[in-house]
Structure 1
């Protein structure tokens, strides 16, 4: 399992529009092969900053499957014009995990 962490900086004053567009766009990523789950979190200290957490079955599912698909072009059309700078996207593998 891979955890994608995308740091998103939304243009000031556009957060309401961005969140509305994300509600539409999340159906696209949810339907992607290899998608396990996702959540969008807004920063408390900087309300224009978000982090998108997406769990994928594999890195290939994200990099090759989703990013090279036709639905990704619609994802970009819906969301990328809200970003003030390019998102920072990194992928992580679990080393230790615990939960209740």
Structure 2
């Protein structure tokens, strides 16, 4: 399994709207082949910063299959307007 680590910076004052939109966008992501789970975590010190963790079967399930699907478009339509900066995305795998 691979974990997508996405740092999200949301436009100030739009955090509650983003969280509502995320619930809708998550439904699209959850339908993707290779999807396992997702967690949205809000930073305490800067509440407009979020960490999104998504479990995928493989990196390609995220970067190719999902990213090139209509489901990705639905995800971006739901949450894209709230990003103050482009998300910073990296992938992790269990070390041992």
TM-score range with shorter-chain normalisation? over 0.9
Q: Which residue of 1 aligns with 2:83?
A: 83
Query: Match for residue 17 of structure 1?
Result: 17
Q: Which of the pair has more CA radius of gyration? A: 1
Aligned to 1:46: 46
* Aligned residues: CA RMSD: 0.6
What is the TM-score of this pair, normalised by structure 2? 0.97
Q: What's the CA shift for 1:56?
A: 0.3
Secondary structure of the residue aligned to 1:79 is helix
TM score, norm. by length of structure 1: 0.94
Give structure 1 regions of 4+ aligned residues with deviation exceeding 2 angstroms. none
Give the unaligned 5+ runs of structure 1: none
Aligned residues: 96
Mapped to 2, the partners of 1:24 and 1:33 lie a distance apart of 18
CA distance in structure 1 between the aligned counterparts of 2:54 and 2:15, rounded to whole angstroms: 20
Q: Distance in 2 between matches of 1:38 and 1:74?
A: 16
Query: Structure 2: where are the runs of 5+ without partners?
Result: none
